[in-house]
């Protein structure tokens, strides 16, 4: 849709270029239909995991007739048969100790343009202490298909610095290599802590809503509103005279944001306060729009920190959901919280270090006030769009078109 205002091409493109600069490609799980998967999660005194198989593989192994796109109703009549097959085709041993598989409620992983994978979750019984190494046997489907491969992935091992891994394969099983050792000795508290720091940094960098909230907050850092003769702020902007005032503006805003999200991150992770993710994500979306609207029409006179602190509380609940999704609710919780929070702060600092020098250098340019206005308007639109999607749990078409176009540009 073309703008009716008489703006130069550069002015029209600046807000969009500013937003696109910070967009990051989304990551997705990579599953191959000619492979089955065995995931392990290593804890202090327990080992759990899951098998993952497609309908085609289960049909081939057991002569079933499951559809490619499955439901739990399709799986239920054959569940005990499939579980017995998996137990018979795999083994877990540590020296003279033999561990048994105890299955839990299965789930289904739906992947676009691919077959579904059924996840058969389990816990190993008989594990009193995690061993230094475990011998794992895997022969699923090898008697039916000599080209089939089994992938062993250690998804979680805090002390080994492994958190939410779904890409790095530990062992690959084939008909000629059905039993392999998995070493668990290479582990330390430091590795686990560093992994959580990296997770915090990564979460900020892929969390576009958190990035846009920070952008909305710091856009006015290098300018100030002009005042009239009575000392009231007007709608026009003037650049700051020195670096110090702009730097302390950002320092104050980010400090209040950090304090706020650190409080709720701890409260939610420790299960002291829990809010619906639908509510949290919807409010996070609105926070971007409100911070951007404040740039156009001041809501809190010279008290931007109120926005940073108030909505920072909800961003903290959003961060906490990440720890829950990664299964970090029990082991080493204090270190997990500390490491993840440090990572979040480092991620924020890196983003600000990228943006702030540029803003400071262009603060005197005549286009900068327009960048604030139109950039904030774009942020408001994105905010409302996400709020509708998250609040009403709908997928609006514009988002899909945007990401398809973005992925096409990336190639």
Domain match, 147 and 200 both: no
Domain match, 293 and 313 both: yes
Q: Which of 41-45, 201-205, 377-381, 390-394 has maximum average pLDDT?
A: 377-381
Q: Which residue has better confidence, 147 or 379?
A: 379
Residue 77 DSSP symbol: G
pLDDT of the residue at 2: 42
**Domain limits for position 108:** 35-187
Does any domain span residue 14? no
Q: Which residue has better confidence, 13 or 75?
A: 75
pLDDT of the residue at 128: 86
Phi, psi angle pair for 225, to nearest 5°: -75, 135
370/268 Cα distance (integer angstroms):
39
Q: Which of 4-18, 22-36, 248-262 has maximum average pLDDT?
A: 248-262
Q: How confident is the model at residue 69 (pLDDT cuts 50, 70, 90)?
A: confident
pLDDT of the residue at 45: 86
Domain match, 295 and 345 both: yes
Domain match, 173 and 202 both: no
Q: If you average pLDDT over residues 9-17, what whole number do you get?
A: 43
Domain match, 143 and 91 both: yes
Is the pLDDT score of 268 beyond 50? yes
Place of tokens 């006015």: 220
Is the pLDDT score of 407 beyond 80? no
321/348 Cα distance (integer angstroms):
18
Is the pLDDT score of 17 beyond 90? no
Is the pLDDT score of 27 beyond 60? no
Weakest mean pLDDT among 167-176, 184-193, 255-264: 184-193
pLDDT of the residue at 24: 36
Q: How confident is the model at residue 187 (pLDDT cuts 50, 70, 90)?
A: low
- Closest by CA to 115, choosing from 161, 52, 165, 191, is 52
400/381 Cα distance (integer angstroms):
16
Weakest mean pLDDT among 278-292, 316-330, 362-376: 316-330
Return the beta strands (E) in 191-232 as ranges: 223-227
Q: Greatest CA separation found in the chain? A: 87
Is the pLDDT score of 12 beyond 80? no
Q: Which residue has better confidence, 363 or 405?
A: 363
Does any domain span residue 4? no
pLDDT of the residue at 32: 45
pLDDT of the residue at 408: 58
Weakest mean pLDDT among 58-67, 76-85, 150-159, 381-390: 150-159
Phi, psi angle pair for 201, to nearest 5°: -60, -45
Tokens of 49: 């995991």
Q: Which residue has better confidence, 26 or 369?
A: 369
Return the beta strands (E) in 176-253 as ranges: 179-183, 223-227, 233-239
Domain match, 339 and 403 both: yes
Q: If you average pLDDT over residues 18-42, what whole number do you get?
A: 57
Domain match, 148 and 250 both: no
Task: Yes or no: say if 209 and 322 are a contact pair by the CB < 8 Å rule.
Answer: no
345/205 Cα distance (integer angstroms):
11
Q: How confident is the model at residue 384 (pLDDT cuts 50, 70, 90)?
A: very high
Does any domain span residue 301? yes
Q: How confident is the model at residue 16 (pLDDT cuts 50, 70, 90)?
A: very low
What distance, in Å, lies between the first and last C-alpha atoms of the chain?
25
For 257-276, b/e burial (b = at least 16 CB within 10 A) is bbebbbebbbbbbeeeeebe
**Among 130, 165, 187, where does a domain finish?**
187
300/107 Cα distance (integer angstroms):
48
Domain match, 310 and 396 both: yes
Is the pLDDT score of 111 beyond 60? yes
Q: How confident is the model at residue 31 (pLDDT cuts 50, 70, 90)?
A: very low
pLDDT of the residue at 307: 94
Does any domain span residue 24? no
Q: What is the mean pLDDT of the chain?
A: 84
pLDDT of the residue at 151: 87
- Closest by CA to 382, choosing from 262, 291, 259, 260, is 291
pLDDT of the residue at 299: 86
Residue 221 DSSP symbol: G
Q: How confident is the model at residue 229 (pLDDT cuts 50, 70, 90)?
A: low
SS3 114: coil
Residues contacting residue 116 through CB under 8 Å, at least 6 positions apart: 54, 55, 68, 69, 70, 108, 109, 110
Task: Yes or no: say if 403 and 397 are a contact pair by the CB < 8 Å rule.
Answer: no
Q: If you average pLDDT over residues 302-310, what whole number do you get?
A: 89
Does any domain span residue 2? no
Domain match, 401 and 253 both: yes
For 321-342, b/e burial (b = at least 16 CB within 10 A) is bbbeebbbeebbeebbbbbbbb
Q: Where are the alpha helices (DSSP H) in 27-164?
A: 55-62, 72-75, 79-88
**Among 160, 187, 214, where does a domain finish?**
187
Is the pLDDT score of 21 beyond 70? no
**Cβ neighbourhood burial of 409 (10 Å; 0-12, 13-18, 19+):** exposed
Q: If you average pLDDT over residues 251-255, what whole number do you get?
A: 93
Is the pLDDT score of 234 beyond 60? no
Domain match, 205 and 270 both: yes
* C-alpha count within 13 angstroms, C-beta hemisphere, residue 379: 35
Q: State percent of the chain over pLDDT 90.
A: 53
Domain match, 204 and 179 both: no
Tokens of 52: 């993952």
Does any domain span residue 252? yes
Domain match, 176 and 197 both: no
Place of tokens 């906490």: 320
Q: If you average pLDDT over residues 384-388, what whole number do you get?
A: 93
Q: How confident is the model at residue 191 (pLDDT cuts 50, 70, 90)?
A: confident
Cβ neighbours around 310 below 10 Å, total: 16
């Amino acid at each position: 849709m073309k703008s009716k205002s008489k703006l130069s091409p550069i002015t029209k493109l600046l807000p969009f270029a500013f937003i696109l600069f910070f967009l990051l490609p989304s990551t997705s799980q990579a599953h191959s239909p000619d492979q089955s998967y065995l995931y392990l999660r290593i804890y202090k005194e327990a080992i759990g995991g899951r098998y993952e198989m497609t309908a085609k593989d289960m049909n081939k192994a057991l002569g079933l007739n499951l559809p490619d796109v499955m439901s739990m109703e399709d799986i239920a009549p054959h569940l005990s048969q499939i579980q017995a097959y998996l137990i018979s085709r795999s083994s877990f041993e540590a020296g003279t100790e033999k561990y048994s598989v105890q299955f839990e409620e299965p789930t289904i992983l739906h992947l676009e343009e691919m077959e579904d994978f059924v996840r058969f979750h389990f816990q190993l019984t008989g594990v009193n202490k995690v061993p230094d190494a475990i011998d794992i046997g895997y022969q699923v489907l090898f008697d039916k298909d000599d080209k089939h491969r089994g992938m062993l992935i250690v998804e979680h091992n805090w002390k080994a610095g492994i958190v939410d891994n779904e890409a790095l394969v530990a062992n690959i099983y084939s008909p000629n290599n059905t039993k392999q050792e998995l070493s668990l000795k290479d582990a330390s508290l430091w590795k686990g802590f560093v992994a959580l720091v990296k997770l915090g940094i990564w979460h900020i960098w892929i969390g576009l809503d958190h990035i846009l909230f920070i952008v909305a907050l710091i856009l006015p850092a290098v300018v100030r509103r002009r005042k009239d003769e009575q000392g009231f702020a007007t709608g026009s902007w003037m650049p700051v005279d020195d670096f110090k005032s702009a730097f302390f503006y950002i320092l104050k805003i980010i400090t209040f944001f950090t304090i706020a999200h650190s409080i709720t991150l701890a409260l939610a992770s420790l299960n002291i306060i829990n809010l619906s993710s639908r509510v949290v994500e919807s409010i996070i979306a609105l926070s971007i729009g409100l911070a951007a609207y404040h740039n156009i029409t001041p809501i809190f006179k010279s008290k931007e920190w109120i926005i940073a602190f108030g909505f920072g509380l909800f961003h903290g609940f959003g961060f906490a959901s990440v720890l829950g999704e990664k299964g970090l609710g029990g082991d080493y919780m204090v270190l997990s919280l500390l490491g993840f929070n440090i990572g979040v702060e480092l991620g924020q600092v890196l983003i600000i270090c990228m943006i702030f020098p540029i803003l400071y250098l262009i603060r005197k340019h005549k286009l900068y006030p327009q960048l604030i206005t139109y950039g904030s308007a774009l942020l408001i639109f994105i905010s409302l769009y996400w709020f509708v999607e998250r609040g009403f749990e709908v997928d609006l078409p514009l988002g899909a078109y945007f990401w398809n176009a973005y992925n096409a540009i990336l190639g």
